[in-house]
Chain A
Amino acid sequence: MLEFISRMLGKESASSKTVAKERLRLVLVHDRASISPAMLNRLREDLVKVISNYMEIDEAALEFNLLQDDNEVALVANIPVVKMKRDYAAKA
Protein backbone atom coordinates (compact mmCIF):
# COMPACT_ATOMS: atom_id res chain seq x y z
CA MET A 1 0.00 0.00 0.00
CA LEU A 2 2.71 2.44 1.00
CA GLU A 3 4.62 1.43 -2.10
CA PHE A 4 1.61 2.18 -4.25
CA ILE A 5 1.25 5.64 -2.74
CA SER A 6 4.92 6.30 -3.07
CA ARG A 7 4.86 5.37 -6.75
CA MET A 8 1.84 7.55 -7.26
CA LEU A 9 3.66 10.44 -5.72
CA GLY A 10 6.51 10.02 -8.16
CA LYS A 11 9.26 8.72 -5.91
CA GLU A 12 9.94 5.62 -7.99
CA SER A 13 10.96 7.06 -11.33
CA ALA A 14 14.16 9.10 -11.02
CA SER A 15 13.32 12.79 -11.04
CA SER A 16 14.46 14.58 -14.17
CA LYS A 17 16.95 16.67 -12.23
CA THR A 18 18.72 13.50 -11.11
CA VAL A 19 18.95 12.46 -14.74
CA ALA A 20 20.24 15.92 -15.68
CA LYS A 21 22.91 15.83 -13.02
CA GLU A 22 24.14 12.37 -13.94
CA ARG A 23 24.28 13.27 -17.64
CA LEU A 24 26.21 16.42 -16.81
CA ARG A 25 28.66 14.52 -14.67
CA LEU A 26 29.43 12.16 -17.55
CA VAL A 27 29.63 14.77 -20.25
CA LEU A 28 31.98 16.90 -18.16
CA VAL A 29 34.31 13.99 -17.52
CA HIS A 30 34.70 13.88 -21.29
CA ASP A 31 34.86 17.63 -21.82
CA ARG A 32 37.44 18.10 -19.13
CA ALA A 33 39.47 15.13 -20.38
CA SER A 34 40.18 16.90 -23.64
CA ILE A 35 43.21 18.54 -22.10
CA SER A 36 45.82 20.32 -24.14
CA PRO A 37 48.82 18.41 -25.54
CA ALA A 38 51.02 20.77 -23.51
CA MET A 39 49.37 19.71 -20.27
CA LEU A 40 49.51 16.04 -21.23
CA ASN A 41 53.22 16.50 -21.86
CA ARG A 42 53.79 18.12 -18.47
CA LEU A 43 51.93 15.23 -16.82
CA ARG A 44 54.11 12.78 -18.69
CA GLU A 45 57.29 14.52 -17.57
CA ASP A 46 56.12 14.65 -13.96
CA LEU A 47 55.23 10.96 -14.03
CA VAL A 48 58.63 10.02 -15.45
CA LYS A 49 60.33 12.08 -12.74
CA VAL A 50 58.43 10.38 -9.92
CA ILE A 51 58.80 6.85 -11.25
CA SER A 52 62.52 7.38 -11.87
CA ASN A 53 62.97 7.72 -8.13
CA TYR A 54 62.13 4.06 -7.84
CA MET A 55 63.17 2.42 -11.10
CA GLU A 56 64.99 3.05 -14.31
CA ILE A 57 62.50 3.21 -17.19
CA ASP A 58 62.80 3.19 -20.95
CA GLU A 59 61.56 6.69 -21.69
CA ALA A 60 61.71 6.29 -25.45
CA ALA A 61 59.37 3.31 -25.41
CA LEU A 62 56.93 4.88 -22.96
CA GLU A 63 53.30 4.96 -24.10
CA PHE A 64 50.97 7.41 -22.52
CA ASN A 65 47.35 8.15 -23.40
CA LEU A 66 43.95 9.31 -22.24
CA LEU A 67 41.39 6.81 -23.48
CA GLN A 68 37.68 7.56 -23.53
CA ASP A 69 34.61 5.45 -24.00
CA ASP A 70 30.96 6.14 -23.25
CA ASN A 71 31.17 5.77 -19.51
CA GLU A 72 34.66 6.59 -18.41
CA VAL A 73 37.96 8.14 -19.14
CA ALA A 74 41.15 6.28 -18.28
CA LEU A 75 44.77 7.31 -18.18
CA VAL A 76 46.61 4.38 -19.71
CA ALA A 77 50.38 4.22 -19.44
CA ASN A 78 52.72 1.48 -20.57
CA ILE A 79 56.09 2.07 -18.96
CA PRO A 80 58.86 -0.48 -19.68
CA VAL A 81 61.11 -0.94 -16.67
CA VAL A 82 64.80 -1.34 -17.45
CA LYS A 83 66.17 -1.78 -13.96
CA MET A 84 64.84 -1.60 -10.43
CA LYS A 85 66.67 0.57 -7.94
CA ARG A 86 68.06 -1.06 -4.85
CA ASP A 87 65.72 -0.71 -1.90
CA TYR A 88 68.10 0.30 0.87
CA ALA A 89 65.30 0.92 3.33
CA ALA A 90 64.14 -2.69 3.17
CA LYS A 91 67.62 -3.93 4.12
CA ALA A 92 68.05 -1.59 7.02
Chain B
Amino acid sequence: MGEIIVVTSGKGGVGKTTTSANIGTGLAAAGHKVVLVDTDIGLRNLDVVMGLENRIVYDLVDVTSGNCRLKQALIKDKRFTNLFLLPAAQTKDKSSVSPEQMETLAKELKEEFDFAIIDCPAGIEQGFRNAIAGADRAVVVCTPEVSAVRDADRIIGLLEAAELRNPKLIINRIRPEMVKRGDMMDISDILDILAIELIGVVPEDESIVISTNRGEPAVLDQGSKAGEAYRRITRRIKGEEVALMNLDVPSGLMDKLKKLVGLR
Protein backbone atom coordinates (compact mmCIF):
# COMPACT_ATOMS: atom_id res chain seq x y z
CA MET B 1 0.00 0.00 0.00
CA GLY B 2 1.56 3.27 -1.12
CA GLU B 3 1.51 6.75 0.34
CA ILE B 4 0.11 9.98 -1.04
CA ILE B 5 2.16 13.11 -0.28
CA VAL B 6 0.79 16.53 -1.21
CA VAL B 7 3.18 19.46 -1.80
CA THR B 8 1.47 22.75 -1.02
CA SER B 9 2.19 26.37 -0.01
CA GLY B 10 -0.65 28.85 -0.26
CA LYS B 11 1.49 31.49 -1.92
CA GLY B 12 2.31 31.01 -5.60
CA GLY B 13 5.75 30.65 -7.09
CA VAL B 14 7.58 29.48 -3.96
CA GLY B 15 8.72 26.17 -5.44
CA LYS B 16 5.94 23.55 -5.17
CA THR B 17 6.40 22.21 -8.68
CA THR B 18 10.20 22.22 -8.42
CA THR B 19 9.93 20.39 -5.10
CA SER B 20 7.43 17.83 -6.40
CA ALA B 21 9.61 17.03 -9.42
CA ASN B 22 12.76 16.65 -7.33
CA ILE B 23 11.27 14.62 -4.50
CA GLY B 24 9.48 12.33 -6.95
CA THR B 25 12.58 11.83 -9.07
CA GLY B 26 14.70 11.34 -5.95
CA LEU B 27 12.38 8.61 -4.67
CA ALA B 28 12.36 6.94 -8.09
CA ALA B 29 16.17 7.07 -8.22
CA ALA B 30 16.15 5.24 -4.88
CA GLY B 31 14.16 2.45 -6.52
CA HIS B 32 10.59 3.27 -5.44
CA LYS B 33 7.67 3.17 -7.83
CA VAL B 34 6.49 6.77 -8.03
CA VAL B 35 3.79 8.81 -9.76
CA LEU B 36 3.81 12.60 -9.94
CA VAL B 37 0.32 14.11 -10.13
CA ASP B 38 -0.09 17.67 -11.41
CA THR B 39 -3.32 19.11 -9.97
CA ASP B 40 -2.70 22.67 -11.20
CA ILE B 41 -5.52 22.46 -13.74
CA GLY B 42 -5.26 25.18 -16.39
CA LEU B 43 -1.65 26.01 -15.46
CA ARG B 44 0.13 22.72 -15.92
CA ASN B 45 3.88 22.88 -15.39
CA LEU B 46 5.15 19.68 -13.89
CA ASP B 47 5.37 18.19 -17.40
CA VAL B 48 7.89 20.80 -18.57
CA VAL B 49 9.90 20.71 -15.36
CA MET B 50 10.20 16.94 -15.90
CA GLY B 51 10.89 17.34 -19.63
CA LEU B 52 7.88 15.21 -20.56
CA GLU B 53 5.66 17.80 -22.25
CA ASN B 54 5.78 16.15 -25.66
CA ARG B 55 4.35 12.85 -24.55
CA ILE B 56 0.98 13.90 -23.16
CA VAL B 57 -2.14 12.31 -24.60
CA TYR B 58 -4.65 12.12 -21.74
CA ASP B 59 -4.77 14.10 -18.49
CA LEU B 60 -6.05 14.10 -14.90
CA VAL B 61 -9.56 15.21 -15.87
CA ASP B 62 -9.77 12.46 -18.50
CA VAL B 63 -9.06 9.97 -15.73
CA THR B 64 -11.38 11.39 -13.06
CA SER B 65 -14.24 11.85 -15.49
CA GLY B 66 -13.80 8.35 -16.91
CA ASN B 67 -12.70 9.34 -20.43
CA CYS B 68 -9.77 6.97 -20.16
CA ARG B 69 -8.25 4.49 -17.77
CA LEU B 70 -5.47 5.56 -15.35
CA LYS B 71 -2.90 3.43 -17.20
CA GLN B 72 -3.60 5.22 -20.49
CA ALA B 73 -2.98 8.66 -18.99
CA LEU B 74 0.24 7.84 -17.15
CA ILE B 75 3.35 9.14 -18.93
CA LYS B 76 6.56 7.15 -18.58
CA ASP B 77 9.61 9.10 -17.47
CA LYS B 78 12.65 9.21 -19.77
CA ARG B 79 15.15 8.33 -17.06
CA PHE B 80 13.45 5.85 -14.76
CA THR B 81 11.14 3.00 -15.70
CA ASN B 82 9.56 3.22 -12.22
CA LEU B 83 8.59 6.93 -12.51
CA PHE B 84 5.35 8.24 -14.04
CA LEU B 85 3.53 11.54 -14.51
CA LEU B 86 -0.19 12.17 -14.48
CA PRO B 87 -0.45 15.61 -16.12
CA ALA B 88 -3.03 18.29 -15.32
CA ALA B 89 -5.64 19.25 -17.88
CA GLN B 90 -4.71 22.48 -19.59
CA THR B 91 -8.00 23.55 -21.12
CA LYS B 92 -10.41 22.93 -18.25
CA ASP B 93 -10.88 24.70 -14.92
CA LYS B 94 -10.39 23.59 -11.34
CA SER B 95 -14.05 22.73 -10.85
CA SER B 96 -13.82 19.93 -13.41
CA VAL B 97 -12.47 17.71 -10.62
CA SER B 98 -14.04 17.19 -7.20
CA PRO B 99 -12.40 16.20 -3.90
CA GLU B 100 -14.44 12.96 -3.97
CA GLN B 101 -13.04 12.06 -7.39
CA MET B 102 -9.54 12.77 -6.10
CA GLU B 103 -10.10 10.46 -3.15
CA THR B 104 -11.14 7.68 -5.49
CA LEU B 105 -8.09 8.31 -7.65
CA ALA B 106 -5.84 8.31 -4.57
CA LYS B 107 -7.06 4.83 -3.62
CA GLU B 108 -6.24 3.57 -7.09
CA LEU B 109 -2.78 5.19 -7.02
CA LYS B 110 -1.97 3.61 -3.65
CA GLU B 111 -2.59 0.16 -5.11
CA GLU B 112 -0.17 0.79 -7.98
CA PHE B 113 2.61 2.94 -6.49
CA ASP B 114 4.88 3.25 -3.47
CA PHE B 115 4.54 7.03 -3.54
CA ALA B 116 2.24 9.51 -5.27
CA ILE B 117 3.50 13.10 -5.10
CA ILE B 118 0.68 15.61 -5.59
CA ASP B 119 1.72 19.04 -6.90
CA CYS B 120 -0.87 21.46 -5.50
CA PRO B 121 -1.85 24.75 -7.18
CA ALA B 122 -1.39 28.08 -5.34
CA GLY B 123 -4.32 29.37 -3.33
CA ILE B 124 -6.80 27.92 -0.85
CA GLU B 125 -9.76 27.32 -3.15
CA GLN B 126 -11.04 24.25 -4.93
CA GLY B 127 -7.67 23.36 -6.46
CA PHE B 128 -6.19 23.15 -2.98
CA ARG B 129 -9.11 21.10 -1.67
CA ASN B 130 -8.76 18.70 -4.59
CA ALA B 131 -5.02 18.32 -4.09
CA ILE B 132 -5.25 17.45 -0.39
CA ALA B 133 -8.35 15.27 -0.69
CA GLY B 134 -6.69 11.86 -0.82
CA ALA B 135 -3.38 12.77 0.83
CA ASP B 136 -1.80 10.89 3.74
CA ARG B 137 0.95 13.43 4.39
CA ALA B 138 1.60 17.06 3.51
CA VAL B 139 4.76 19.01 2.76
CA VAL B 140 4.49 22.80 3.03
CA VAL B 141 6.93 24.88 0.98
CA CYS B 142 7.76 28.45 1.88
CA THR B 143 10.47 31.00 1.18
CA PRO B 144 12.05 33.20 3.89
CA GLU B 145 9.73 36.12 3.20
CA VAL B 146 6.95 37.65 5.27
CA SER B 147 4.20 36.92 2.74
CA ALA B 148 5.24 33.32 2.10
CA VAL B 149 5.53 32.49 5.80
CA ARG B 150 2.18 34.11 6.50
CA ASP B 151 0.50 32.05 3.77
CA ALA B 152 2.24 28.92 5.01
CA ASP B 153 0.73 29.56 8.44
CA ARG B 154 -2.73 29.77 6.91
CA ILE B 155 -2.20 26.58 4.94
CA ILE B 156 -1.01 24.72 8.04
CA GLY B 157 -4.25 25.75 9.76
CA LEU B 158 -6.32 24.53 6.81
CA LEU B 159 -4.42 21.24 6.63
CA GLU B 160 -5.08 20.62 10.29
CA ALA B 161 -8.74 21.50 9.88
CA ALA B 162 -8.82 18.87 7.11
CA GLU B 163 -7.27 16.35 9.54
CA LEU B 164 -3.95 16.24 7.68
CA ARG B 165 -1.85 16.43 10.80
CA ASN B 166 1.88 17.07 11.24
CA PRO B 167 2.72 18.70 7.93
CA LYS B 168 6.46 19.03 7.28
CA LEU B 169 8.14 22.25 6.21
CA ILE B 170 10.58 22.92 3.36
CA ILE B 171 12.26 26.32 3.38
CA ASN B 172 13.22 27.10 -0.20
CA ARG B 173 15.45 29.75 -1.79
CA ILE B 174 17.37 30.57 1.35
CA ARG B 175 20.38 32.84 0.70
CA PRO B 176 23.07 32.20 3.31
CA GLU B 177 24.91 35.48 2.68
CA MET B 178 21.70 37.48 3.31
CA VAL B 179 20.93 35.43 6.43
CA LYS B 180 24.43 36.09 7.64
CA ARG B 181 24.12 39.86 7.42
CA GLY B 182 20.72 39.78 9.09
CA ASP B 183 18.67 40.64 6.02
CA MET B 184 16.84 37.35 5.68
CA MET B 185 14.98 35.31 8.26
CA ASP B 186 16.89 32.18 9.14
CA ILE B 187 15.68 28.65 9.77
CA SER B 188 15.07 29.12 13.48
CA ASP B 189 13.15 32.38 12.94
CA ILE B 190 10.72 30.59 10.63
CA LEU B 191 10.40 27.47 12.77
CA ASP B 192 9.76 29.70 15.75
CA ILE B 193 6.81 31.26 13.98
CA LEU B 194 5.29 28.26 12.23
CA ALA B 195 6.03 25.69 14.93
CA ILE B 196 6.08 22.67 12.63
CA GLU B 197 8.74 20.11 11.87
CA LEU B 198 11.38 20.95 9.27
CA ILE B 199 12.09 18.41 6.56
CA GLY B 200 14.58 20.39 4.52
CA VAL B 201 16.21 23.63 3.50
CA VAL B 202 16.94 24.34 -0.16
CA PRO B 203 19.31 27.16 -1.07
CA GLU B 204 18.67 29.68 -3.82
CA ASP B 205 20.55 28.07 -6.66
CA GLU B 206 21.09 28.85 -10.35
CA SER B 207 21.19 25.15 -11.06
CA ILE B 208 17.41 25.03 -10.48
CA VAL B 209 16.92 27.42 -13.39
CA ILE B 210 19.35 25.48 -15.57
CA SER B 211 17.81 22.12 -14.72
CA THR B 212 14.32 23.50 -15.36
CA ASN B 213 15.53 24.84 -18.72
CA ARG B 214 16.64 21.35 -19.61
CA GLY B 215 13.76 19.43 -18.08
CA GLU B 216 16.19 17.46 -15.89
CA PRO B 217 15.44 17.65 -12.14
CA ALA B 218 18.39 19.03 -10.12
CA VAL B 219 18.24 16.10 -7.71
CA LEU B 220 20.05 14.05 -10.39
CA ASP B 221 22.84 16.64 -10.73
CA GLN B 222 25.59 15.59 -8.32
CA GLY B 223 27.23 19.03 -8.56
CA SER B 224 24.10 21.00 -7.62
CA LYS B 225 23.65 22.36 -4.09
CA ALA B 226 19.88 22.47 -4.40
CA GLY B 227 20.10 18.94 -5.80
CA GLU B 228 21.99 17.82 -2.70
CA ALA B 229 19.33 19.45 -0.53
CA TYR B 230 16.62 17.51 -2.39
CA ARG B 231 18.58 14.26 -2.10
CA ARG B 232 18.59 14.73 1.66
CA ILE B 233 14.89 15.61 1.74
CA THR B 234 14.14 12.44 -0.24
CA ARG B 235 15.92 10.34 2.36
CA ARG B 236 14.10 12.09 5.21
CA ILE B 237 10.78 11.35 3.50
CA LYS B 238 11.73 7.68 3.62
CA GLY B 239 12.25 8.08 7.36
CA GLU B 240 16.03 8.31 7.51
CA GLU B 241 17.70 10.78 9.84
CA VAL B 242 19.91 13.06 7.76
CA ALA B 243 21.79 16.13 8.95
CA LEU B 244 20.95 19.53 7.48
CA MET B 245 23.26 20.67 4.73
CA ASN B 246 25.96 23.10 5.71
CA LEU B 247 25.00 26.41 4.09
CA ASP B 248 27.52 28.60 5.87
CA VAL B 249 29.34 31.19 3.85
CA PRO B 250 33.06 31.59 4.55
CA SER B 251 33.70 34.55 6.84
CA GLY B 252 34.92 37.70 5.18
CA LEU B 253 36.92 40.69 6.38
CA MET B 254 33.90 42.45 7.90
CA ASP B 255 33.14 39.43 10.08
CA LYS B 256 36.65 39.31 11.38
CA LEU B 257 36.45 43.01 12.19
CA LYS B 258 33.10 42.53 13.97
CA LYS B 259 34.54 39.67 15.98
CA LEU B 260 37.50 41.82 16.91
CA VAL B 261 35.30 44.56 18.37
CA GLY B 262 33.09 42.01 20.08
CA LEU B 263 29.96 42.30 18.00
CA ARG B 264 29.62 38.63 17.17
Which residues 12-29 of A sit at the B interface, judged by CB distance below 8 A?
Answer: 15-18, 20-21, 23-25, 27-28
Give the distance in Å from the alpha carbon of A24 to the alpha carbon of B261 in the complex.
32
Q: Point out the residues of chain A lying under 8 angstroms from B193, CB to CB.
A: 21, 24-25, 28
Give the distance in Å from the alpha carbon of A6 to the alpha carbon of B264 in the complex.
11
Residue in A9, A24, A28 whose CB lies within 8 Å of B258: A9
Give the distance in Å from the alpha carbon of A11 to the alpha carbon of B255 in the complex.
12
Contact A16 B146, beta carbon cutoff 8 Å: no
Give the distance in Å from the alpha carbon of A32 to the alpha carbon of B183 in the complex.
26
Contact A17 B146, beta carbon cutoff 8 Å: no
Residue in B157, B182, B192, B258 whose CB lies within 8 Å of A15: B182
Contact B189 A32, beta carbon cutoff 8 Å: no
Contact A9 B185, beta carbon cutoff 8 Å: no
How many interface residues does chain A have, given as a range? 10 to 19
Q: Looking at chain A's contact residues, is the secondary structure mostly helix, strand, loop, or mixed?
A: helix
Q: How many A-B pairs fall under 8 Å by CB?
A: 50
Q: Looking at chain B's contact residues, is the secondary structure mostly helix, strand, loop, or mixed?
A: helix
CB distance from B196 to the nearest CB of A (A): 13
Residue in A9, A18, A27, A28 whose CB lies within 8 Å of B254: A9
Residue in A5, A18, A31 whose CB lies within 8 Å of B182: A18
Which residues 28-73 of A sit at the B interface, judged by CB distance below 8 A?
Answer: 28, 31-32
Is A89 located at the chain interface by the 8 A CB criterion? no
Is A2 located at the chain interface by the 8 A CB criterion? yes
Contact B263 A24, beta carbon cutoff 8 Å: no
Give the distance in Å from the alpha carbon of A28 to the alpha carbon of B263 in the complex.
31
Q: Point out the residues of chain B lying under 8 angstroms from A17, CB to CB.
A: 179, 182-186, 189
Residue in A2, A11, A15, A32 whose CB lies within 8 Å of B153: A32
Give the distance in Å from the alpha carbon of A46 to the alpha carbon of B261 in the complex.
56
Give the distance in Å from the alpha carbon of A25 to the alpha carbon of B185 in the complex.
13
Q: Point out the residues of chain B lying under 8 angstroms from A32, CB to CB.
A: 153, 157
Give the distance in Å from the alpha carbon of A9 to the alpha carbon of B149 in the complex.
29
Contact A24 B146, beta carbon cutoff 8 Å: yes
Give the distance in Å from the alpha carbon of A18 to the alpha carbon of B189 in the complex.
9
Closest 4 CB pairs of A and B: A15-B182, A16-B183, A17-B185, A20-B146
Residues of chain B at the chain A interface (Cβ within 8 Å): 145-146, 149-150, 153-154, 157, 179, 181-186, 189, 192-193, 254, 257-258, 261, 263
Residues of chain A at the chain B interface (Cβ within 8 Å): 2, 5-6, 9-11, 15-18, 20-21, 23-25, 27-28, 31-32
